[in-house]
Structure 1
Amino acid sequence: MIPHEPDFQQLYNQHHIMVYNLALHYLQNIEDAEEITQDVFVQAYHALESFKAQSSLKTWLYRITINKCLDFIKHKNSQKRFFIFGRKSQSETEYLNSSNFEHPGILLENQEKAAQLYAAINKLSENQKTAFILSKIDGLSNPEIAEVMQLSVSSVESLIFRAKTALKEKLSIMFENYRKK
């Protein structure tokens, strides 16, 4: 059954910026974030009638967005591996531009530092990265993150702590190497 247009339009109007920003934080690329945002709302449109309201619509959209981003990253990484082993991805430009840093909220002079920070964030485990982004970038509380990730609050606290510890280590090494240049 297709959901009512006004319900979906309202859902989109209320949450499209949140979905886009979360995708942008994960992927650091405007076009990829726009594609994911579109994919999230296509999936939400088709699943809205079956939404069981066991969580809020916002939590549900967060979960869909995170899963879409993680799937996108896995697909992109597998494309890179194929290219490395002699098979090209769908386009060479896609491969060459896969690691660009494009985030409109970052001032030009801070883009290099932000790119290094996001490079370190991208090296975290999926759960640590998700918890860190939801907490420190999107500003969600630990109980909200626990609901989105379907974990206990103490697990979320642990993930954020380990993410911060790992980031401190990775960034200190990066900046130490940067100072040596």
Structure 2
Amino acid sequence: MTEKELVKKLQQADQLTFKYFVDQYQNKVLNTCWGFVKNSSEAEDLTQEVFIEIFESIQGFKHESRLSTYVYRIAVNKSLDYIRKQKRQKRWGNFLSIMGWSDSSEMPDIPTWEHPGITLENKERASILIKQVETLPEKQRVAFTLHKIEGLPYQEIAEVMQVTLASVESLIFRANQSLRKKLQHYYNQDF
């Protein structure tokens, strides 16, 4: 089945095609969401939200990009929206705590992350790297995550982020430079 045929059947709300589509993209979407939120449970919830949005919005897909780019764009946007919402809730909770209106023990913790592909001996190193990636500016973090964790080529990252290829190259270069500085004493290898 070609991509155009797949999209056409999805637009016709064909249930078997949608199940096939979910089977094909589920792990990619889950890994993308996990790459941003670092929490398996939240990544699973976001993955469901991504597929719900695709089901509801596929009618508007115009073949201006590849279907995979469309899927990644939705996954990245859902993940970033989730992160922004968590940060707003945390800031509001901190404000309430300062004002004495709420017990700070009610504040949500920063989510822990567990990736099944990381071996025990690499968890400490990976944890340090993940924490430093989280400190990058949003666009650098998105480009870096899509390239290094998802393995997307620069051109597809440009399409997902809706920026130029040169912008992606620059974002990844700056992310690498920043991470090298921050992690110089932990790692002796290039990223």
Give the TM-score band, short-chain normalised: 0.7 to 0.9
2:152 maps to 1:168: no
1:159 match: 171
2:96 maps to 1:83: no
2:134 maps to 1:122: yes
Q: Is the 8 A contact 2:33 2:79 kept in 1?
A: yes
Structure 1 gap ranges (5+): 177-181
User: Where does structure 1 differ by over 6 angstroms across 4 or more consecutive aligned residues?
Assistant: none
Give the structure-2-normalised TM-score: 0.83
Q: CA deviation at 1:2?
A: 6.7
2:145 maps to 1:133: yes
Work out the CA distance in 2 between the residues paired with 1:125 and 1:4: 40
Give the structure-1-normalised TM-score: 0.87
1:126-155 C-alpha deviation (Å, 9 max, x unpaired): 111111111112111111111111111111
Structure 1 window deviating more from structure 2 (32-41 vs 111-120): it is 111-120
Work out the CA distance in 2 between the residues paired with 1:108 and 1:95: 26
Q: CA deviation at 1:63?
A: 0.2
For residue 34 of structure 1, give the secondary structure of its aligned residue in structure 2. helix
Q: Is the 8 A contact 1:2 1:46 kept in 2?
A: no
For residue 33 of structure 2, give the secondary structure of its aligned residue in structure 1. helix
Work out the CA distance in 2 between the residues paired with 1:101 and 1:142: 26
What's the % identity of the aligned pairs?
41
Work out the CA distance in 2 between the residues paired with 1:144 and 1:18: 14
Structure 1 window deviating more from structure 2 (101-110 vs 11-20): it is 101-110
Q: CA deviation at 1:41?
A: 0.3
Instruction: Give the root-mean-square deviation of aligned CA atoms.
Output: 2.1
1:54-78 C-alpha deviation (Å, 9 max, x unpaired): 1111100100000000000011111
Q: Which structure is larger by alpha-carbon Rg, 1 or 2? A: 2
Q: CA deviation at 1:7?
A: 2.5
1:143 match: 155
Work out the CA distance in 2 between the residues paired with 1:71 and 1:48: 20
Structure 2 gap ranges (5+): 1-10
